[in-house]
Amino acid sequence: MTVQDTIEQKILTALTPSYLDVINESHMHNVPPGSESHFKLVIVSSDFDNLPLVKRHQKVNGILAKELKDDIHALSMQTHTLPEWEERGGALMASPLCHGGDKASQNGD
Amino acid sequence: MSDNPVFDRIQSEIDGNAVVLFMKGNPMFPQCGFSAAITQALTMMEVKFKGIDVLADDEIRNGIKEFSSWPTIPQLYVKGEFVGGCDIVREMHESGELKKLLDDKGVEYAS
């Protein structure tokens, strides 16, 4: 299973999101073609209701602890409740470029 | 004091400085787009902050992740409190929540 599939499966199981997008942004970085190192997640879930942003991100980081340790070099995420998501009309923020990609020595991890 | 000397070092940095950014590179030359994004937000608001380059210190680089229960760099602290990483700070900057937090904590900024 690809890292992307693993992320998707784990989030689907843990958060039963009403919207989920797992975007592989590795091509935006200095890594070989086909890499699975840089991801962006957009998650809309009622599990985020009444949780501050930090707790939401910690929840997701916890679900993906193994992937963050072993595979993912940089992870960007947007976490919304359903009302928040509707209010923004489903808008995405652009992820920053990290200027790197060499997992062992560089950024994001 | 904890029984972890790295935690003690981190604690003394966030105790001794109102706004601390654990980042890759320094505020003049961020080495990572995520660190640069927070630096830019703070610089725009003219918030005085201390940047700590984790690339120059492997102990801090690994220790801060455990200290904050947060797996990635950058990490922003305001008055000893963990605020978040790049996504959170950018979102708070855009929504005005960052200003509110700085107001609540009594940290000065220009706009």
Enter the ipTM.
0.79
Q: Specify the pairing of strand A74-80 against strand A19-24.
A: unpaired
> Is residue A98 a contact partner of residue A39, using CB atoms and an 8 Å limit?
no
DSSP-based three-state secondary structure for B2? coil
Using the structure block, give the residue that is written with the tokens 């990572």.
B32
> Domains in chain B, please, with CATH?
5-101 (3.40.30.10)
- Tell me whether residue A18 is in a domain: yes
User: Which residues span the domain enclosing A68?
Assistant: 3-88
Give how many domains chain A has, as a whole number. 1
Looking at residue A100, its pLDDT comes to 64
> Is residue B45 a contact partner of residue B98, using CB atoms and an 8 Å limit?
yes
Q: State the CATH number of the domain containing residue A46.
A: 3.30.300.90
- Tell me whether residue A105 is in a domain: no
A75 contacts on B by Cβ (under 8 Å): 72
- Tell me whether residue A61 is in a domain: yes
Q: Mind listing the pLDDT tens digit of every residue in chain A (109 residues)?
A: 899 999 999 999 999 999 999 999 998 888 888 899 999 999 999 999 999 999 999 999 999 999 999 999 999 999 999 999 988 887 666 777 777 655 443 345 5
Name the residue among A68, A96, A99 with its Cβ closest to that of B71: A68
Q: Inspect the interface and report whether the beta carbons of B88 and A75 lie closer than 8 Å.
A: no
Pull the structure tokens for residue A82: 């359903």
- Tell me whether residue A16 is in a domain: yes
- Tell me whether residue A41 is in a domain: yes
Name the residue among B32, B73, B87 with its Cβ closest to that of A76: B87
How many angstroms separate the CA of residue A74 from the nearest CA in chain B?
8
A99 contacts on B by Cβ (under 8 Å): 31-33
Which residues on adjacent β-strands are paired with residue B81?
A: B78
- The 10 Å CB-count burial string (b at 16+, else e) for B77-100 is bbbeebbbbbbbbbbbbeeebbbe
At B17-63, the pLDDT tens digits run: 999 999 999 999 999 999 999 999 999 999 999 999 999 999 999 99
Backbone angles phi, psi at B5, to 5 degrees: -60, -30
Return the residue in B34, B66, B98 with the most chain A beta carbons within 10 A, the one to mutate for interface testing. B34
Looking at residue B1, its pLDDT comes to 63
A92 contacts on B by Cβ (under 8 Å): none
The maximal CA–CA distance of chain A, rounded, in angstroms, is 40
What contacts 24+ positions apart, CB below 8 Å, involve B25-32? B25/B51, B25/B53, B25/B55, B26/B51, B26/B53, B27/B51, B31/A99, B31/A100, B31/A106, B31/A107, B31/B55, B32/A98, B32/A99, B32/A100, B32/A106, B32/A107, B32/A108, B32/B73, B32/B74
How many angstroms separate the CA of residue B23 from the nearest CA in chain A?
9
Pull the structure tokens for residue B83: 């605020």
Mean of the per-residue pLDDT values of chain B = 95
pTM given for the model: 0.84
